[in-house]
C-alpha cells in the first residue's frame, strides 16, 4: 500500500515538473542526493565528487526524459529511477578512468601492494614490493587487470565485468578467486 502511495506522489511530481514547476527539481535533488552519495561510495566505490556529478546528471536526464515525453509512466519510484541512472553513470565514469593513463603515478607504489597477503608478514617492505610486482608481471593480462581493478582501483565486480567484457559478475568472482590463488602460489614458491 505504501509503495502505491509513493508511486502516486511521484506521478503527481512528474506531472508538476512537466507543467513547468522546475523548483521541484531542486527539492528532488536535495531529497535524494545524500542517499545516492552514500550508496555510490559504499557500493560503487565512487569518490564524493564523481558521485555528486553523476547524481546531478541523473536528475538532468530525468528532467529531459520527463519534459520530452520519453518518461510517460513510472514502474518504480523516482528515487529508484534516479539511482539506476546514477549507477550507470558511475560505471561509465569508472570505465573512463580506467582508459585514461594515470599521469601522476606514484612509482614507489605498485597496484599489487594493495593485496593483503599474510605470507609477507615476515618479509621487509622493499623486498615485498619487488617480489609482488614481479609476480604480478608474470600473470596473464586478464588476471593482472582483474586484481588491479578490484584491489587497487576498488572497482565493483559489475564494473570489472563490463570493462573486461566478461560474461557475468559470477564469472568475474570466480576468475578473481583463481587469479588470487595463482598469485598466492607464485608468492609461496621459494625465490631463486
Same domain? For 54 and 141 the reply is no
Residue at 27 is within a domain: yes
Task: Classify residue 63: in a domain, yes or no.
Answer: yes
Question: Are 168 and 118 found together in one domain?
Answer: yes
Q: What is the pLDDT of residue 101?
A: 45
Same structural domain, 7 and 92: yes
Residue 157 belongs to a domain with what CATH number? 1.10.10.10
Given this model, what pLDDT does residue 53 score?
Answer: 92
**Confidence class for position 123, pLDDT limits 50, 70, 90:** very low
CA distance 57 to 32: 13
User: Is residue 105 in a domain?
Assistant: no
pLDDT at 92: 87
* pLDDT tens digits for range 124-143: 556 667 777 888 888 999 99
Domain boundary among 99, 127, 161: 99
Domain presence at residue 13 = yes
* One domain, residues 121 and 179: yes
pLDDT at 36: 94
Average pLDDT over residues 58-87: 89
Q: What's the whole-number mean pLDDT along residues 86-100?
A: 82
pLDDT at 107: 45
pLDDT at site 2: 57
CATH number of the CATH domain containing 70: 1.10.1740
Look at residue 104 and tell me if it is in a domain.
Answer: no
CB-based contacts of 43: which residues, under 8 Å, 6+ apart? Answer: 156
Domain boundary among 68, 99, 130: 99
DSSP string, 36-102: HHHHHHHHS---HHHHHHHHHHHHHHHHHHHHHTS--S-SS-HHHHHHHHHHHHHHHHHHHHHHSPP
Residue 46: predicted pLDDT? 86
Do 92 and 158 lie in one domain? The reply is: no
15 with 95, same domain: the answer is yes
Pair (88, 132) in one structural domain? no
Give the pLDDT confidence score for residue 82 in this predicted structure: 92
- Both 134 and 81 in one domain: the answer is no
Domain count, the chain: 2
Q: How confident is the model at residue 79 (pLDDT cuts 50, 70, 90)?
A: very high
Q: Which residue, 99, 125, 151, sits at the end of a domain?
A: 99
Same structural domain, 146 and 178 = yes
Are 95 and 22 members of one domain?
Answer: yes
Cell of 110: 605498485
In this prediction the pTM is 0.51
Q: Which residue do the cell numbers 552514500 mark?
A: 38
Same domain, yes or no: 64 and 151: no
Give the pLDDT score at 127: 67
Question: Any residues with CB less than 8 A from the CB of 113 and at least 6 apart, and which?
Answer: 129, 132
Residue 56 within a domain: yes
Residue 4 has pLDDT above 50, yes or no: yes
Q: What range defines the domain where residue 123 resides?
A: 111-188
Answer yes or no: do 89 and 154 share one domain.
Answer: no
Distance from C-alpha of 151 to C-alpha of 141, rounded to nearest angstrom: 15
Looking at residue 35, what is its pLDDT? Answer: 94
pLDDT at residue 33 in the model: 94
Domain contains 55: yes
Amino acid at each position: 500500500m505504501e509503495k502505491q502511495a509513493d508511486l502516486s506522489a511521484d506521478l503527481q511530481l512528474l506531472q508538476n515538473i512537466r507543467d513547468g514547476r522546475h523548483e521541484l527539481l531542486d527539492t528532488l535533488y536535495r531529497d535524494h542526493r545524500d542517499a545516492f552519495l552514500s550508496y555510490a561510495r559504499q557500493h560503487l566505490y565512487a569518490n564524493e565528487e564523481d558521485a555528486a556529478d553523476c547524481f546531478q546528471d541523473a536528475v538532468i536526464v530525468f528532467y529531459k526524459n520527463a519534459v520530452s515525453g520519453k518518461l510517460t509512466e513510472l514502474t518504480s519510484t523516482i528515487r529508484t529511477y534516479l539511482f539506476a541512472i546514477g549507477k550507470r553513470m558511475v560505471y561509465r565514469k569508472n570505465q573512463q578512468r580506467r582508459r585514461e593513463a594515470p599521469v601522476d603515478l606514484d612509482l614507489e607504489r605498485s597496484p599489487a601492494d594493495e593485496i593483503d597477503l599474510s605470507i609477507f608478514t615476515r618479509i621487509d617492505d622493499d623486498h615485498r614490493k619487488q617480489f609482488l610486482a614481479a609476480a604480478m608481471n608474470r600473470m596473464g593480462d586478464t588476471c593482472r587487470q582483474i586484481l588491479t581493478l578490484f584491489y587497487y582501483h576498488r572497482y565493483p565486480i559489475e564494473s570489472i565485468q563490463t570493462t573486461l567484457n566478461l560474461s557475468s559478475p559470477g564469472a568475474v568472482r570466480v576468475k578473481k578467486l583463481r587469479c588470487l590463488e595463482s598469485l598466492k602460489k607464485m608468492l609461496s614458491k621459494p625465490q631463486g
